[in-house]
Each structure stands twice: as C-alpha cells, then as structure tokens.
C-alpha cells in the first residue's frame, strides 16, 4: 500500500504542477530534492512571483525511521518505527479575489521497532489514510463556495453518502482559530485515521482518498480562471494581507501537520512553504460595518452549509 500510494502522489504532483504552470503563464515551479538524515526524503516544488500565484508549493515526501519520543507519547506507543508519505499543497494567489487553497493527502504505517532492528519482516501494527482540501477566500463569492463544496461532495458520494457531511463538519472544526473565534476559511473536507473496518478495507480507503485527490483541480481551477483578472484596490490588497496573517497563525499554532514535521526533524523549508510572502498584523483591526470584509468575517464566525 505504501508503494502504491507513493506512486500515486508522485503522478498527482506532476499533474497539478503542470496545470498550475499553464494557468500562471509566467512562473515555473522550482524543484528541490532533499533527503532526511533519519530516513527518506522528498520532492519540493515551489512557484513564486507569477502572473497568478504570488507563492505556492506542491510537495511530496516519504519519510521513515524511529518514531520520536514526542510522537510516541502522542500515539500512545513505545519504541515504534514509522513510515509516512503524502502530498501537501498551498497556493497563495496575487489577486485578493482569488482564494488561497490548501490540500493534503497522506498515508501512515507504524511497526514494532524490534522487528526492524532484527531485520525481520515489517509487521504493520497500525496504518491509516488522512487528508482533505479547503478554501480560504478573502472576498466571498457564494457561487465559488458552492462549486468547491459540490465538487468535494460529488467525490465523497461515490464512496459513501455519509462522508461529505461528516468530513465537511470535521473540516469546519479543525481549521478553526480558537484564539480568534473564527474559521480559517470556508472549509471543505478533513479526514484522518481512516483505518480498515467492517465497511471499508484499506483498498477502499485508497480509492476514496485518490478520488478526492483527483478532484482537486476540478474544485479549484474554475475559481482561479473566473477571478484572476478581476480588478482590485490597494485597500483590498491590504485586507488580503491581514487575513493571511490569520492563516499564518493557524499553521504555526494549531496545525498538526506542521507540528508533526517540526517534531520529526522534517525539512523546515518544505514545512514552512505554506507561509505567504507578504502578511500584515494590524493592531485590533475591524472591518467597516456592512462592508464585504465584514460579511466574510460573519461567515467565518458562523460556518454554514454551502450545499
């Protein structure tokens, strides 16, 4: 399964970066191959200063080795080894009318460390999939929100009609800046610890996760193409940078993927690829009453059903 999924995310990275370069028309992804001293490595691809994308990254990694003590405590295990691979992407467009997007699809295995030290066959003691995709607009276009969520729902419904409402709700709960009492964006899907059970085999989970991965471009590209050439003011750009600050706060304070990477000696440049290049933190900022900016805040404080 780990080889099968790693092959999938390698191909998906190629598909996504090729399409995004075509949309941007100027900037190209810079590729950076790296190795992790403890085992494994990755292929980071970053795009900057383009016509459409101010900064973005589409990264894959496959790392393995002894599970760090901090993560052993988190998972409630002792002396375990692990393998983890995934694709993670974040895109920060230049135009504030185009939303930022994030997506991640990942797979994890855990083994007894003694089996590995003895050179015997790896016994998988736990394995699961995780991932999702979510949208962070700066100006709210309802038809864009509905399109993104409908694409997510269509992918989910092919596997289980209960998946979309469940993983949409989890996304609203997870991507939430509790210290601000507001969501990071308008959500999408978030799922984790997808393990074999009476209803779903690991093969079933693989099919579901890759279905969602394959739906990403369909969910996001039409929104880019519709909004990337809209006019905007410096004031709207300032608002975008203030909201980007909230994005940074979530990633550094709450995001489990960022924290996992930092605690497992992950590659810092790849982990912090998600941070936008231009951000503002304005003291005690509040948008004007009745403005488009205030309407966005209202939605972020009161997550809604878009379908």
Task: Check if 149 is active-site.
Answer: no
Q: Helix 2-24 to helix 202-227 angle, to the nearest 10 degrees?
A: 10
**Mean pLDDT value across residues 233-244:** 98
The whole-model pTM stands at: 0.94
Domains and CATH numbers, the chain: 2-301 (3.40.1500.10)
Q: In the chain, count of helices (H) and strands (E)?
A: 10, 9
For residues 48, 54, 58 and 59, what is the CA-based torsion angle, rounded to 10 degrees? 60
In this predicted structure, the answer to whether residue 120 has a pLDDT above a threshold of 60 is: no
In this predicted structure, the answer to whether residue 263 has a pLDDT above a threshold of 80 is: no
**Mean pLDDT value across residues 252-275:** 83
Instruction: Please identify which of the residues 64, 102, 147, 149 carries the catalytic annotation.
Output: 102
At residue 115, the pLDDT reads: 52
Percent of the chain whose pLDDT exceeds 70: 97
In this predicted structure, the answer to whether residue 119 has a pLDDT above a threshold of 60 is: no
In this predicted structure, the answer to whether residue 103 has a pLDDT above a threshold of 90 is: yes
**Mean pLDDT value across residues 257-282:** 85
The per-residue pLDDT for range 182-196, each reduced to its tens digit, is 999 999 999 999 999
Mean pLDDT, the chain, as a whole number? Answer: 93
At residue 231, the pLDDT reads: 98
**Mean pLDDT value across residues 275-294:** 95
Strand bridging mode 187-194 / 30-35: unpaired
**Mean pLDDT value across residues 115-122:** 54
**Mean pLDDT value across residues 231-260:** 93
**Mean pLDDT value across residues 13-41:** 96
Which candidate, 143, 169, 175, places its Cα nearest to that of 156?
A: 169
146 close to 305: Cβ distance less than 8 angstroms: no
**Mean pLDDT value across residues 37-43:** 92
In this predicted structure, the answer to whether residue 280 has a pLDDT above a threshold of 80 is: yes
């Amino acid at each position: 399964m780990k080889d099968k999924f790693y092959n999938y995310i390698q191909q998906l990275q190629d598909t996504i970066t090729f399409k995004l370069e075509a949309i941007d028309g100027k900037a190209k992804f810079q590729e950076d191959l790296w190795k992790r001293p403890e085992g494994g490595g990755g292929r980071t691809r970053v795009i900057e200063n383009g016509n459409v994308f101010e900064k973005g990254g589409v990264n894959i990694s496959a790392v393995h080795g002894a599970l760090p003590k901090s993560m052993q405590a988190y998972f409630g295990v002792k002396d375990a080894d692990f393998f983890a691979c995934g694709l993670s992407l974040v895109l920060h467009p230049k135009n504030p009318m185009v939303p930022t997007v994030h997506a991640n699809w990942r797979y994890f295995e855990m083994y007894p460390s003694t089996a590995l030290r003895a050179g015997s066959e790896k016994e998988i003691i736990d394995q699961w999939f995780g991932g999702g995709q979510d949208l962070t607009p700066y100006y709210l276009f309802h038809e864009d929100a509905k399109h993104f969520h409908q694409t997510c729902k269509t992918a989910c419904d092919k596997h289980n009609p209960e998946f979309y409402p469940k993983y949409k709700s989890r996304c609203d709960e997870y991507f939430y800046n509790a210290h601000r009492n507001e969501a990071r964006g308008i959500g999408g899907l978030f799922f984790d610890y997808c393990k074999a059970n009476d209803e779903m085999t690991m093969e079933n989970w693989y099919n579901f996760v890759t279905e969602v991965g394959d739906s990403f471009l369909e969910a996001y590209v039409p929104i880019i193409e519709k909004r990337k050439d809209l006019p905007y003011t410096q004031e709207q750009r300032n608002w975008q940078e203030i909201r980007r600050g909230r994005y940074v706060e979530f990633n550094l304070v709450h995001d489990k993927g960022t924290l996992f990477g930092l605690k497992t000696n992950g590659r810092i440049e790849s982990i912090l690829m998600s941070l936008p290049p231009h951000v503002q933190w304005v003291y005690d900022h509040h948008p004007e009453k009745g403005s488009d900016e205030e309407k966005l805040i209202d939605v972020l404080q009161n997550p809604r059903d878009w379908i």
